[in-house]
Amino acid sequence: MGLKFFCRVAIALAIVLIAVVILEFMLLTLYVKEQEEDVLKATQEPIVAGIRGLEVATENNNFASSTKESHSKKKEVIDVPTKRTLTLPTIHVSAVVCGDRAVEATTMLKSTTLFTKRTVQLHVVAEDQLHDDLKNIFNQWHTVRSGKVMFKIYSLHFPGEKFDEWKRLFKPCASQRLFLVDVLDSIDSVLYMDTDTLLLRPVDDIWDHFKNFDSWQLASMTPEGEETSLTWYPRFARHPFAGKNGMNSGVMLLNLTRMRAFGWKEKIIEAYNKYKLSITWGDQDLINIVFHDHPGLLYVYTCDWNYRPDHCMYGNNCGAAKDNGISVVHGNRGVFHNDKQVFFKAIYNTLRDFKPGENITLLATRLSENLKSVGTDPYCNAMVDSVLKYPKKYSVL
Ligand SMILES: *[C@@H]1O[C@H](CO)[C@@H](O)[C@H](O)[C@H]1NC(C)=O
Ligand SMILES: *[C@@H]1O[C@H](CO)[C@@H](O)[C@H](O)[C@H]1NC(C)=O
């Protein structure tokens, strides 16, 4: 009897075991199939490149086709029931590239794609002679080939007949960012970053600031400085500027829909005509003038979203970076390339050499190693933990 009972239990257990194995097998097959479909879909998705020719003659055609494209993409998102595409809409990131900035720009753009699971669409406005280089770099990315990252390349576009005047304003073609409303004419919202910036956490996190915009705000910026006595605008500017210390335009969320409705382009041209003889920093000054007149349209985030050498040059004056960690580093004054602040250069070099698709854990490790071995700047070096905070946190994707 004891034996019989034991036999029954054994048989029951065996049946359960077999059922579990079969179930597992089925789930696995389903999973593999889904993955394959995902990859297949991704490789079939056309890599959209070389949308150019913003000349008036072809303008309408181009925009019509890019609108169609975004419509069909939307449809696809709804049709394909994978978790990623269903719950997470595409994030749009833009850069303006001139001169010898192709590697720097693609490094910045890469940084916006690394820590996220979302599809990222890059919009790169560049001088025509850089288009081939840019395409070559993007096409080497594993994430571009898999369709997780998409890119479009546009020609420069300035309003009216003043092409050369706008192009010369400040650094080569930095003023292009003033007119993204025109260039990206079928896009609702975009994250614009200077080529000498790097995002150190998921792009979703910065994009989420859009949710904090009130119903008027149409762009985000950080203050140009934390200390009025050390900041350029309150000390030297001969034109109006936004906030107490002026605003830095290196990292901006732009709601292009609202900017168009506001008449952004016209306001910028107006500011230019009125103040062109007293502006020093070109396009950033114009943005400051417009937001001085319309402070309610600007969303201001803290300096950890735009951390610059100034913040640690004479002691640390960005408290938010100490408290929260650094989300975006901005290597202005050329510090990604010169030897004035090797701390910043080490961050840049690490990101530059990282290959999309590589194990992300390696990025945090290399960053940590490379920052250990830099110079002796007491203030900036004290920020190592703030730099590493997010790469470490998000390197376990
Ligand atoms: C931008 O503004 C428009 C108009 O108010 C709004 O419909 C849209 O959702 C906004 N975009 C984002 C990303 O918040
Ligand atoms: C990535 O690298 C880390 C550390 O070397 C390792 O523990 C982890 O398993 C790797 N992940 C993948 C997906 O290979």
How large a percentage of the chain has pLDDT more than 70? 81
Spatial separation of the C-alpha atoms in residues 262 and 253, rounded to whole Å: 16
Determine the pLDDT at residue 28. 57
Helices 384-393, 360-372: inter-axial angle, 10-degree rounding: 170
Residue 354 clears pLDDT 90, i.e. is over it: yes
Residue 236 clears pLDDT 80, i.e. is over it: yes
Question: What does the pLDDT look like over 379-390, one tens digit per residue?
Answer: 999 999 999 999
Does the Cβ of 188 fall within 6 Å of ligand 1?
A: yes
Does the Cβ of 361 fall within 6 Å of ligand 2?
A: yes
- Starting from the CA of residue 363, give the closest ligand: 2
Does the Cβ of 358 fall within 6 Å of ligand 2?
A: no
Query: What is the DSSP code (8-state) at residue 132?
Result: H
Query: What is the DSSP code (8-state) at residue 100?
Result: T
Question: What does the pLDDT look like over 88-110, one tens digit per residue?
Answer: 889 999 999 999 999 999 999 99
Q: Does the global pTM surpass 0.85? A: no
Residue 84 clears pLDDT 60, i.e. is over it: no
Determine the pLDDT at residue 391. 96
E strand or H helix that includes residue 77: helix 56-79
Rg of the chain on CA atoms, in Å: 25
Q: Could you count the other beta carbons within 10 Å of the beta carbon of residue 185?
A: 16
Q: Which atom of ligand 2 is nearest to the CA of 360?
A: 1
Determine the pLDDT at residue 122. 98
Q: Could you count the other beta carbons within 10 Å of the beta carbon of residue 37?
A: 13
Question: What does the pLDDT look like over 199-228, one tens digit per residue?
Answer: 999 999 999 999 999 999 999 999 998 888
Quote the tokens at residue 43.
Answer: 């490789």
